[in-house]
Amino acid sequence: MSGAGASTVLVVDDDKNIRDLIRASLAGQGCEAVVAGNGKEALAYLRSSSRPPRLILLDLMMPEMTGWEFRRIQQDDPALAGIPVAIITGLTGVEGKASALGAVDVLYKPSRVETIASLVSRFTGDKQ
């Protein structure tokens, strides 16, 4: 599935290798992955897109705008607040903080492709 019929996931991470790996694994699952290198790029995409993603995979530590800053702005914007966010991070022990920000899940880097696929399928309805 691709194009207009595909479920879209926004991947926000400053590490290009991680973005590319997640994009490739989601494509194999039938999902379209849109990528952003930081929170500012992600907000620009969300505000200009006519079709919001079903899920945002969000890194926390990025230049220009961290995942924490992005999430606070997203939550304050009624047009964006309803999009679920899962944290994907190399930091440990962030479950409590992520939960306080309303994250639906926390994945730790490196995450297995199957773990990411399972998480995404919960929000897109796509089969693994």
pLDDT in tens, 5-34: 568 999 999 999 999 999 998 988 889 999
* Chain mean pLDDT for the chain: 88
What's the token pair of residue 70? 């992005």
Question: Cα(10)–Cα(33) distance, rounded to whole angstroms?
Answer: 6
Q: For residue 110, which of 2, 1, 15, 9 has the smallest C-alpha distance?
A: 15
> pTM of this prediction?
0.88
At 94 the pLDDT is 81
Q: Is the pLDDT of residue 128 over 60?
A: no
Structural domain boundaries of the chain?
3-123
pLDDT band at 81 (very low <50, low <70, confident <90, very high): very high
Question: Cα(96)–Cα(91) distance, rounded to whole angstroms?
Answer: 12
CATH code linked to domain 3-123: 3.40.50.2300
Q: Are strands 105-108 and 85-89 parallel, antiparallel or unpaired?
A: parallel
pLDDT band at 110 (very low <50, low <70, confident <90, very high): confident
Q: Is the pLDDT of residue 61 over 80?
A: yes
